Amino acid sequence: MTMHEALRPAAAETMTTGSTELIRILRRRMRGLIVTITLTLLGTALVLSMIAPRYNATAVMRVDTADIGMPDSIAASTAPPSIRDIEMRQAHQIDTQIQLLQSRAVARQVVRDLALTGDPEFNPALPIPSTGLLRWFSDTFFPAGPPAKLIVTPQMSEKVTDRLLSALKVAQDSTSNYINVTVSSTSPEKAARIANKVATTYMDTQIRERRASQIRDAEALRRRAGELRQQLVSTELKIANYRRAHGIDAEVGGAGDAAQVSRAGSELAASKAAVSEAAARVASGDATVSPLLTELKAREGVLTAQIAQLRTSYGGGHPDVRKAEAELAQVRQTISEEGERVQRQLRAEVNAQAARRTTLAGDVAGLRAQSLDRGVTGVPLADYGRDVTALQSVYVSILSRLKQTLSDVVKADAALASPALRPTQASFPRSMPIMGAASAAALIFGFLYVIVAEATDNHVRTAGQVYELSRLATFGMIPALNRRDDLPAHLMVTERPYATFAEAARSVERKLARTLPRESGNVVVVTSPLPGDGKTTVAVAIAAAATATGRSAIVVELDLRRPDLSTLAQPGSESRDLLDYLQGEASLEDIIQQNAALPALKFIHARRSAADPQALLASRKVADMLATLRRTFDYVIVNTPPILAAGDARLAGQLADAVLLVLPWEHTTPDLVRSTLEQFDGDITGVVFNRVSYIRHARLALGDGLQYYQRVRGYYRDPHDQRRRPRLPIFDRAA
C-alpha cells in the first residue's frame, strides 16, 4: 500500500498522544498562525506609524512650607501644634498650589503668551498640516490658497484652554514638597516651552497679585494712619483747650495734687509733734537745750563739793570757804539767769511751732479742697487722656504694620526648582513596550485562531474521518490537475506515468481490482454527492489506468441529465450515442467509440440530455447493455449523476459490482457524507478523494501517509514542479 492508498485507518493513526496531536494541529495551522501573528504585528506597527508621537516635558517646582509650621494664631496660644497638624497644613498648601497651577486663569495666560490659538494641535478649528508623501500629494494636486485670517473668539480661546488643560498634568512628587508640571505635546520643544511657561506664569501671576495686594494694603494703612493722626491731634487740642479754660497746669494732675497734700500732711504732723515736744520741755524745765546751763550746773556741783570739803578741813570762817561760797553764789545767779533765758527761748519755739502748725493745717485744707476741685474738673480731661492713649497705641500699631508691609519681600509660594528640558524620547506611543504587548497578543490571537479553526473545521480530509463517519474504506487520494496542464486526465495517466496524478489513479485501480468479485466483467459506478466534484475525471482516470496495465476498459455515460464525456469524444463527431441506442435507433456496436489519442480506451457517451432519464435507466435495455459489456471488457466504468441531484445513481448502482463515491477534498463535510449515504440508500464500496493538494495535506499533518509527501516527492515528476530533490521514500506508517 502506498501513500495514495488508504483503507481503514491503522491503529497508529488513532493512538496518537496528546502532545503529538498538538504538534500536528500546530503544523496544519502554522500558516494561519503565522498570518495571524504577522497581521497583528503589522497592524500594530501600522497603527503606531499612524499615531503622532507625543512627548512629555516636566518642570519641577518646590513649594515653600517653612513658614507654615507655627501660624500667628497658634504661636500666641499656649499649646504648640502637633506634627500631624503641621503635615496636614503642608499637604493642604501643596494641594492648593496644584490647583492654582492647573487653574484656567494660568492656562488662559499661557494661551495668550504663547499664541496657542494659532497652533493646530490646540486649536481644533485649524487644519492639521499633512506631512511626508501626503503633504507632497496635496501640495502638488490640491495647492492651498493663502491662509485665511484667524479671528480669535472667546469661545475659541476657551476651547484652546480646554485642550491645554487636557495636555497638562500637575501632581505632587511622592510625599515631598515638590510638584511636577508635565505637558504633553506632539513637539518636544513645544512641550518643554509650555511646561516652563506654565511654571513661570504661575509665579509671575502670584507675584503680581501679591504685589498689587501689598500696594492696596499699604494704601489702606496710610489712609488709616492719616485718619488716626488727625484724630490724635484733634484730641490733644481739646485737652489743651480744656486745661486753658479750667486753669489746669499740664504738669499738675491727680497724682501731683495727692503728693502735695501728702507732703503738707507730713509737715503738719511734724509740726504738731514739735509743738508737743517743746511744750513738754518747757513744762519739765529741760536744760539740755543750753550747753552753758549744763556747764554751770556741773560747776555748781563741783563748788558744792569743794565747799563741803573746805568746811570739813578749815571750818566755816576760813577765807577759802567764803571765797568758794561767793563763787558758788555767783554760779547760781548765772544758772538762774540762764534758766530764765532758756525758758523764754522754749516758749518762743512753742509759739512758733504752733503758728507753723496752724499755717500747715490751713495749707493742707486748701490743698485738699483744690485737689477735690481738680478731681471734678479732671474727669473729662482723663477721658480725653484715655482717648489719646488709645489713639496713640493704634497709631503706632498702624505705622508698624505699614513699615512691615512695605518691607515684606513679595514672592510666590513655589519656586522653579528644575526647568523642563527637551524630551528625547516619545512618551506615547512607547513602541517597544507596545510591540512587546502586541507580540504577546499576537501569540494569543494566533492560538485563538488555531483553537477556533480546529473547532469550526468540520471538513473531511482523511480515511480515518471517512471510516468514522461511514465505515467505508478510502481507495485513494487523487491530486488536482494543474490548470496549466494541456493533457486531459486519461492522457496524464498514460503519457506521464511518473506524475502524482497517474500514480494516484493507478493506486485506485489496483485497490479496486483487489476488491472486485471477478477478474473481468466488472461494472463500477462512479458517482459523487454534488455536481462539480470531479467524478467524470476520476472515472476516466481509472479506466485509463486499467488500459495502461493491459486491461480492457470502457467508460459509459449514464448521466443523461448533464452528459460530460466530451474530452474523450472526437471534436465535431456526429456518431451515434447512448440515447440513439436506448431509443432503438442504433446498435450497441454503433455507439461504442474509442479515444483517438488512447485507442485502448473505449467509451459510450451522450451528446444531449434525455427527456426522462430515470425511465431510460430503468429500462431493460440498460441492463442488457451492461450485461453485454461485462462479457467484452474487464472494466465497465459507469459515470452517473450526483447522488443528491437525482436518484439515477441508485438505479445504476443496483446493476453494478462496485460503487465508488468521489468526495472533493477539503470541500466535504460530515453532513454532506451522511446526507449522501442516506440519499443513496445502497451499498457503496469505497471512497475516492479528488482534487487533493498534497502539499497542503502534508502541511496539515493529518496523520496519514500523505503527511510525508514532501519527503518522497522526489520520486515523482510532476509538470511545472521545479524542485527536483530526490529523497529516500518514507512509506505510510499507517499502512
Q: What is the pLDDT of residues 259-288, one digit of tens each?
A: 666 776 777 677 777 767 767 766 665 555
Q: Are 186 and 56 in contact (CB under 8 A)?
A: no
Q: What would the grid cell of residue 591 be?
A: 455507439
- Measured distance CA(553)–CA(602) in Å, rounded: 6
Q: Residues in the chain, how many?
A: 735
Cell numbers representing residue 326 in the block: 561767793
What is the torsion angle, in degrees rounded to the nearest 10, for the CA atoms of residue 465, residue 469, residue 470 and residue 474? Answer: -10
Residue listed under C-alpha cell 496495465: 549
Report the pLDDT value the prediction gives residue 87, as an integer from 0 to 100: 82
Q: Do 450 and 663 touch, CB atoms closer than 8 A? A: no
Low-confidence ranges of the chain (pLDDT < 70): 1-18, 67-80, 128-149, 249-261, 264, 268, 275, 278, 281-289, 367, 370-375, 378, 484-485, 572-573, 718-735
DSSP 127: P
CA distance 411 to 316: 122
Q: Calculate ∠ Cα 243-249-252, nearest 5°.
A: 120
Phi-psi category of residue 691: left, alpha or beta, with phi > 0 → left and psi -120 to 50 → alpha? left
Q: What is the dihedral of CA 190, 192, 195, 197, to 10 degrees?
A: -70
| Closest alpha carbon to 377 in 259, 242, 256, 258 | 242
Could you tell me which residues are beta bridge partners of residue 62? 178, 415
Determine contact, residues 442/37, Cβ cutoff 8 Å.
yes
β-pair type (601-604, 553-557): parallel
CATH class, 520-690 region: alpha beta
The side-by-side arrangement of strands in the sheet containing 658-664 is 473-479, 686-692, 658-664, 522-527, 635-639, 553-557, 601-604, 593-594
What was the pLDDT predicted at 282? 65
How many Å apart are CA 721 and CA 419, to the nearest integer? 69
Q: What is the pLDDT of residue 283?
A: 67
List the grid coordinates of 483. Answer: 490548470
Distance CA 46, CA 72 (A): 63
Whole-model pTM over 0.75: no
Q: What are phi and psi of 408, to 5 degrees?
A: -65, 140
The residue to which cell 501689598 is assigned: 214
* Amino acid symbol at 517: P
Each residue's pLDDT tens digit, 145-187:
555 567 788 899 999 999 999 999 999 998 889 999 999 999 9
Side by side, which strands form the sheet with 55-63? 168-172, 178-185, 55-63, 414-418
CB 452 within 8 A of CB 43: no
Q: What's the pLDDT at 444?
A: 95
Type of residue at 22 = L
pLDDT of residue 402: 85
Report helix, strand or coil for 417: strand
